[in-house]
């Protein structure tokens, strides 16, 4: 009986690994590359990578994607909760939050899936612990509003959160302001902003709304980071290279003359840098708060 196509493709890559053509640590073909080389759909390409991972031939390497697995150090038979959470964060940093499943996590730890439930109740609790661990590593700045002023304090926290999202792009997907996970260290960020704005006559509801508004601006900009990183990894193009590749399409769209303001903008050698967009929005929000607090 002939093997399924994804198994045959996986076998070819496995043979390259066995021969040393793809040594430990080398980046294996991405799903997009497999699709282009073999003319298969994304689902089939994903099965190829999954099959290689289940065989222990490849692993996730933060910042690089899927690489040939290196020999692992022995993992305890009963890893503690801290190891479980750290491993989940490693997967999320490399592949995004959707890649974190109990089955995948168990595979990385080399243990039965059901054993994980001795450490976390479900995925929701796992994400809560992941988020709280990251937040705990990024406590609010040690600034005093009475000394430095409310604006400097709030600005410093927003930039701290932006760096945090930059380092862990999946985190923006985990944070919610409508159904927030009760992560104590995340709540400490909101508390800190409210304290920085307190003393200017705002009631608690307005203080809370202001704190959430600022945090949501940073988080709302950061939700693009994961998609941006994934697009660059799959296409092999930087943002600047992608823009250059779209030049002819932009020219066709703008030729009708219905978008004069966008045409003027694109003629200025534009940048869609998320850092710039975050900073511009932050300053305008702070300007508005200054009017409110005055």
Question: Which pLDDT belongs to residue 67?
Answer: 85
Are 154 and 281 in contact by the 8 Å Cβ rule? The answer is no
In a shared domain, residues 163 and 264: yes
What is the reported pTM? 0.67
Closest CA to 174 of 208, 138, 211, 134: 134
Structure tokens at 213: 């508004």
Residue 187 in any domain: the answer is yes
Lowest mean pLDDT among 40-49, 98-107, 212-221, 264-273: 264-273
Closest CA to 27 of 41, 36, 16: 16
Question: Which pLDDT belongs to residue 193?
Answer: 94
Determine the average pLDDT of the residues in 266-277: 76
In a shared domain, residues 55 and 89: no
In a shared domain, residues 173 and 212: yes
In a shared domain, residues 87 and 159: no
Question: Which pLDDT belongs to residue 234?
Answer: 63
Residue 127 in any domain: the answer is no
* CATH number of residue 170's parent domain: 1.10.357.10
Higher-pLDDT residue of 150 and 266 is: 150
Write the DSSP symbol of residue 113.
Answer: G
Residue 28 in any domain: the answer is yes
| Domain extent for 184 | 139-293
Q: Identify the sign of the CA torsion 28, 31, 33, 39.
A: positive
In a shared domain, residues 99 and 173: no
pLDDT at 275 over 80: yes
In a shared domain, residues 247 and 167: yes
In a shared domain, residues 151 and 289: yes
Residue 244 in any domain: the answer is yes
In a shared domain, residues 48 and 167: no
* CATH number of residue 19's parent domain: 1.10.10.10
Residue 125 in any domain: the answer is no
Per-residue pLDDT tens digits for 72-127: 544 455 578 899 999 999 888 887 888 899 988 988 888 888 888 888 888 889 99
Percent of the chain with pLDDT over 70: 86
Q: For residue 256, which phi and psi values (nearest 5 degrees)?
A: -70, -15
Domains in the chain: how many in total? Answer: 3
Are 173 and 97 in contact by the 8 Å Cβ rule? The answer is yes
| Ranges of H-type helices in 20-149 | 31-38, 42-54, 81-95, 102-109, 123-136, 145-148
* CATH number of residue 89's parent domain: 1.10.10.60
Identity of the highest mean pLDDT range in 54-63, 65-74, 154-163: 154-163
């Amino acid at each position: 009986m002939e093997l399924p196509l994804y198994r045959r493709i996986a076998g070819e890559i496995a043979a390259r690994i066995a021969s040393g053509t793809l040594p430990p640590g080398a980046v294996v073909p991405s799903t997009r590359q497999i699709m282009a080389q073999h003319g298969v759909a994304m689902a089939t390409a994903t099965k190829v990578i999954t099959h290689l991972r289940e065989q222990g031939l490849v692993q996730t390497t933060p910042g690089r994607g899927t690489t040939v697995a290196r020999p692992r150090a022995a993992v305890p038979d009963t890893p503690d909760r801290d190891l479980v959470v750290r491993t989940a964060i490693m997967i999320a940093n490399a592949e995004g939050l959707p890649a974190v499943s109990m089955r995948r996590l168990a595979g990385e730890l080399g243990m039965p899936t059901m054993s994980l439930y001795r450490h976390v109740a479900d995925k929701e609790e796992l994400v809560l612990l992941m988020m709280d661990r990251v937040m705990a590593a990024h406590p609010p700045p040690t600034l005093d509003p009475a000394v430095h002023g409310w604006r400097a304090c709030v600005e410093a926290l927003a930039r701290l959160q932006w760096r945090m999202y930059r380092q862990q792009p999946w985190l923006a997907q985990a944070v919610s302001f409508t159904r927030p996970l009760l992560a104590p260290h995340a709540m400490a960020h909101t508390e800190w902003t409210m304290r920085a704005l307190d003393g200017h006559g705002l009631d608690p509801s307005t203080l809370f709304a202001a704190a959430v508004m600022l945090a949501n601006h940073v988080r709302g900009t950061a939700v693009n980071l994961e998609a941006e990183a994934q697009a660059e990894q799959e296409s092999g193009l930087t943002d600047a290279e992608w823009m250059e590749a779209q030049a002819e399409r932009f020219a066709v769209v703008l030729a009708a003359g219905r978008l004069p303001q966008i045409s003027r903008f694109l003629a200025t050698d534009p940048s869609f840098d998320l850092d710039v967009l975050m900073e511009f929005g932050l300053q305008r929000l702070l300007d508005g708060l200054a009017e409110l607090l005055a």
